[in-house]
Amino acid sequence: MSKKIIITIDGWSSCGKSTLAKQLAKELGYVYVDSGAMYRAITLYFLRNNIDLAERKEVKEALASINLELVFNPKSHNSEIYLNGENVEYLIRDLIIAERVSDVAAIKEVRELAVAQQQQMGKKKGIVMDGRDIGTVVFPKAEVKIFMTADNAVRVQRRFKELYEKNPNVTVEEVMNNLEMRDYIDSHREVSPLRKAKDAIELDNTTLTEKEQFNKALFWAKERIVT
């Protein structure tokens, strides 16, 4: 009988973290958790309610009114994020959210709320979670830690293609500026900055196909799963 483990996938924006995490979860029969969706949903709530990020009291009161839930969709085999009972999976992928999410995620109280929920989800193991600080802060003792990276130009094109399908008016320059801004904020924030865990395996997928990167990651995972 195989034991269940925790697999964390961290890395820069638009490196394909979610794609890989979903593939691994499906192959292993694990639960997939998109930690970024939680921060995006909180950002959506803040924008809808005009929360001033500089006012910590206002932020804390807003967080007390937020209920996040990840619900598994059997049709897509993915977990979808619900904000106070509303499925906001599609809404949180908008560029407007992408432009603000790093600022929101840098707030100490926001991260404390999200991390506590994420750690609760991983108590039974058998989970694949992607994000920025999963291997360093959320699950520092995870059995498999992967840190994904790719050439900047490649990341911009990937993100542009993804956003263009939803908004034909988006430009490559907008996407490039957004990625640069998010990279800087994520890696320089005071609380849980983006960094590679010392025991993480680096996966540079600049020239890899989805199948090639999946095979590599699956091999690493199976090495840690004792039969």
Residue 182 belongs to a domain with what CATH number? 3.40.50.300
Q: What pLDDT, on the 0 to 100 scale, is given for residue 227? A: 54
The domain of 206 spans 8-221
Average pLDDT over residues 178-188: 91
Confidence label for 167 from pLDDT (cuts 50, 70 and 90): confident
* Pair of tokens at residue 207: 């020239």
Residue at 227 is within a domain: no
Q: How many domains would you assign to the chain?
A: 1
Q: What pLDDT, on the 0 to 100 scale, is given for residue 23? A: 95
Residue at 60 is within a domain: yes
Strand order in the sheet with 201-204: 31-34, 127-131, 6-11, 144-149, 201-204
Interval 192-209: pLDDT, tens: 889 999 999 999 999 999
Separation CA 8–CA 132 (nearest Å): 10
Q: What pLDDT, on the 0 to 100 scale, is given for residue 152? A: 94
Going by their DSSP bridges, the two strands 86-87 and 78-83 should be labelled as: antiparallel
Residue at 54 is within a domain: yes
Examine the pLDDT at 42 and tell me if it is beyond 70: yes
Q: Give the sign of the dihedral formed by CA 97, CA 99, CA 100, CA 106.
A: positive
Q: Which of 94-98, 133-137, 214-218 has the lowest mean pLDDT?
A: 94-98
Separation CA 219–CA 210 (nearest Å): 14
Residue at 47 is within a domain: yes
Confidence label for 84 from pLDDT (cuts 50, 70 and 90): very high
Interval 130-164: pLDDT, tens: 999 999 999 999 999 999 999 999 999 999 998 88
Separation CA 83–CA 67 (nearest Å): 6
Separation CA 195–CA 204 (nearest Å): 15
Residue at 3 is within a domain: no
Find out whether 130 and 146 touch, Cβ atoms under 8 Å: no
Residue at 173 is within a domain: yes
**For the CA atoms of 70, 13, 24, 88, what is the dihedral angle to 10 degrees?**
20
Interval 53-72: pLDDT, tens: 999 999 999 999 999 988 87
Other residues' Cβ atoms within 10 Å of the Cβ of residue 227: 6
Average pLDDT over residues 14-33: 92
**For the CA atoms of 62, 67, 70, 73, what is the dihedral angle to 10 degrees?**
-110
Other residues' Cβ atoms within 10 Å of the Cβ of residue 27: 14
Compare 3 and 75 and report the one with higher pLDDT.
3
Confidence label for 74 from pLDDT (cuts 50, 70 and 90): confident
Q: What pLDDT, on the 0 to 100 scale, is given for residue 76? A: 67
Residue at 85 is within a domain: yes
